[in-house]
Structure 1
Amino acid sequence: MSLQPQDAQLDAKKRTRFNKLQKKLRRETGRAIADFNMIGEGDKVMVCLSGGKDSYTMLEILRNLQHSAPVNFELVAVNLDQKQPGFPEHVLPEYLEREGVAYHILEKDTYSIVKEKVPEGKTTCGLCSRLRRGSLYGFAEEIGATKIALGHHRDDIIETLFLNMFYGGKMKAMPPKLRSDDNRNIVIRPLAYCREKDIIEFSAFKDFPIIPCNLCGSQENLQRQVIKDMLNRWDREQPGRIENIFAAIQNIAPSQLADTRLFDFETLEEGQQRGGDQAHRLDVINLFG
């Protein structure tokens, strides 16, 4: 059956919107990769695929960029099956095989450990993420991956900044690129410049087979959700504020803060300080590490 003119016009508008959105995500991801030298010639990038919108989008955009990137790199998708009850084990393999993506399914029963260690009603995300990272970091070495790609986006980075300020007393966020604590892995966040609302829209267009997290998805009063609600309200009421916050993360003046480890206030009168803000740029990286 042929489309009615009105339906055809709607489809054309959807295609136009999808193309613009995909180009935007490609541009922002490519810029982040270039700015932080995330991927180099011959890299084998392990794309951590959870089954959520962020990791699906990251994989899709990285695959897209492979065709036009100035360097050759390999992608391999890895999912950690944490043995959560009811986890649909068939969904990711079917999707990845259909898309022709090389992949591994790593099976680790971290679910039982989290349920055993975390009291009922307490937040499970902290322990769950530590166990997940440990398993994935070790597996990256096994398969010879030179980079580990995580699907955190700009909103995640900003949320983490406020979480650490409000609840941890630290000015600390998520860096777009870091060396793991054991010094054995380089972790990258290619979506660091991408907004979550764009990823949500892109994911809806692509109709990814989303797998919800049954372990923590039902926890309503997470501190992160409180921060997310606050930022969403700011975004609605003060357009551009989120962009300014992220810009501030990239534009730090240690001499205008109060951390004596980052600026030499003690000898300021003697003119012996170590060159002001510019000399402390490398130290500031640790602030967000």
Structure 2
Amino acid sequence: MYREPPQTLNKVIMSSQIRKRVNKKITKAIHDFNLIEDGDRVLIATSGGKDSSVLLMELAARLGKFGPKCELAAIHIQSDFADKAPREFLQRMAEEYPQVPFYFKDVAVEARLKEGRKLNCYWCSTQRRTELIKFASENNFNKIALGHHMDDIVETLLMNMLYKGEFSGMPPMVPYEKYPCSIIRPLCYCEESEIIAYAEDADIRKFTCTCEFSKASHRKTIREEIKSLTKGSSTLKANLFESMRNIRMDYLL
């Protein structure tokens, strides 16, 4: 007679499945886009959120075991108005992953505003990205790994089309022309739902963006529109992603 497996066994199986799925997609992304190669020095930008934390865990697990032989380090850039809780969480993660050097850098984002200007997402992002690139360049890191997943990339694609009138997005790898480093996005094949499941399984889904400026972002509106368009289909979402490398120039202006 068939009997249902114990609930704890089901949880173990699900845990194994989600971790294997995310691991496999990261491996495919690294291979498909040559994101990490032998000799690379990779700096992981860590916010303390689910995406960059999963990325850190997965890349750290590969060191000395399989994949390209590279060096890893992680950095957390703390702005002068943001919550300190993610930093405390990352300090604990640094203890759990001694093979990955951690750096913490404070940036006076709000204090840099000129008189009469107001703080906004673009200004904050630009200031933190500038400091990130500067740190990478000064410390000889040739790759900067960001935790953007497929949903982030597809949302950006549609946002740029609707609000900027241009067909552009966030490619899995972007070499900088002015700096000796490239941006890489190893989570590009992973859906946000998979990252959430992984983070919950690993008990690291502790922090989300609480910045008041994100409430007015177009991203949340676009996210709902994508849900409506795809009806929750992973295949349709993946097709939006694939459209960025299957461009038919003869059928564009």
Q: Kindly tell me: are residues 85 and 15 of structure 1, through their superposed partners in 2, closer, same or farther at Cα, counting changes over 3 Å?
A: same
1:243 aligns with 2:238: yes
Instruction: Give the aligned partner of residue 107 of structure 1.
Output: 106
Q: Return the match for 2:88 from 79, 83, 90.
A: 90
Whole-Å separation in 1 of the counterparts to 2:6 and 2:115: 55
Whole-Å separation in 2 of the counterparts to 1:18 and 1:116: 51
Whether contact under 8 Å (1:46, 1:77) holds in the other structure is yes
Whether contact under 8 Å (1:91, 1:209) holds in the other structure is no
How many equivalent pairs are there? Answer: 249
Q: CA deviation at 1:41?
A: 1.0
Once the two structures are superposed, what CA deviation does each residue of 1:208-230 show, in whole Å capped at 9, x if it has no partner? Answer: 163343434x6433111100111
Q: Following superposition of structure 1 onto structure 2, how do residues 10-21 of structure 1 map, counting pairs within 5 Å? A: 10-21=7-18
Q: CA deviation at 1:47?
A: 0.4
Once the two structures are superposed, what CA deviation does each residue of 1:67-96 show, in whole Å capped at 9, x if it has no partner? Answer: 543421111110001122542242211221
Whole-Å separation in 1 of the counterparts to 2:204 and 2:181: 29
Whether contact under 8 Å (2:147, 2:185) holds in the other structure is yes
Whether contact under 8 Å (1:51, 1:209) holds in the other structure is no
Whole-Å separation in 2 of the counterparts to 1:230 and 1:133: 28
AA in 1 matched with 2:249: P
Q: Kindly tell me: are residues 200 and 238 of structure 1, through their superposed partners in 2, closer, same or farther at Cα, counting changes over 3 Å?
A: closer
Whole-Å separation in 1 of the counterparts to 2:48 and 2:138: 22
Q: CA deviation at 1:14?
A: 1.2
Q: Kindly tell me: are residues 32 and 117 of structure 1, through their superposed partners in 2, closer, same or farther at Cα, counting changes over 3 Å?
A: farther
Instruction: Give the aligned partner of residue 204 of structure 1.
Output: 200
Whether contact under 8 Å (1:29, 1:190) holds in the other structure is yes
Instruction: Give the aligned partner of residue 160 of structure 1.
Output: 156
TM-score by length of structure 2 reads 0.89
Instruction: Give the aligned partner of residue 32 of structure 1.
Output: 29
Instruction: Give the aligned partner of residue 194 of structure 1.
Output: 190
Q: CA deviation at 1:149?
A: 0.4
Whether contact under 8 Å (1:39, 1:73) holds in the other structure is yes
Higher relative contact order (CA 8 A, sep 6+): 2
Whole-Å separation in 1 of the counterparts to 2:113 and 2:206: 23
Larger Rg: 1
AA in 1 matched with 2:63: Q
DSSP 3-state at the match of 2:6: helix
Once the two structures are superposed, what CA deviation does each residue of 1:126-155 show, in whole Å capped at 9, x if it has no partner? Answer: 111111110000001222212110111111
Q: Kindly tell me: are residues 237 and 106 of structure 1, through their superposed partners in 2, closer, same or farther at Cα, counting changes over 3 Å?
A: closer
Whether contact under 8 Å (1:114, 1:128) holds in the other structure is no
When the two chains are superposed, the root-mean-square deviation of aligned CA atoms in Å is 2.3
Whether contact under 8 Å (2:137, 2:179) holds in the other structure is no
AA in 2 matched with 1:48: A
Whole-Å separation in 2 of the counterparts to 1:222 and 1:152: 17
Whole-Å separation in 1 of the counterparts to 2:116 and 2:36: 37
* Deviating more after overlay: 41-50 vs 96-105: 96-105
Q: Kindly tell me: are residues 98 and 17 of structure 1, through their superposed partners in 2, closer, same or farther at Cα, counting changes over 3 Å?
A: same
Whole-Å separation in 2 of the counterparts to 1:98 and 1:243: 34
AA in 2 matched with 1:233: S
AA in 2 matched with 1:250: R
Instruction: Give the aligned partner of residue 271 of structure 1.
Output: none
Instruction: Give the aligned partner of residue 44 of structure 2.
Output: 47
* Deviating more after overlay: 218-227 vs 171-180: 218-227
Q: Kindly tell me: are residues 255 and 197 of structure 1, through their superposed partners in 2, closer, same or farther at Cα, counting changes over 3 Å?
A: same
Q: Kindly tell me: are residues 75 and 67 of structure 1, through their superposed partners in 2, closer, same or farther at Cα, counting changes over 3 Å?
A: same
Give identity over the alignment, percent: 30
Q: Following superposition of structure 1 onto structure 2, how do residues 269-284 of structure 1 map, counting pairs within 5 Å? A: none
Show structure 1 runs of 5+ residues with no match: 259-289
Q: Kindly tell me: are residues 13 and 67 of structure 1, through their superposed partners in 2, closer, same or farther at Cα, counting changes over 3 Å?
A: farther
Whether contact under 8 Å (1:30, 1:65) holds in the other structure is no
Whether contact under 8 Å (2:79, 2:108) holds in the other structure is yes
Whole-Å separation in 2 of the counterparts to 1:189 and 1:82: 23
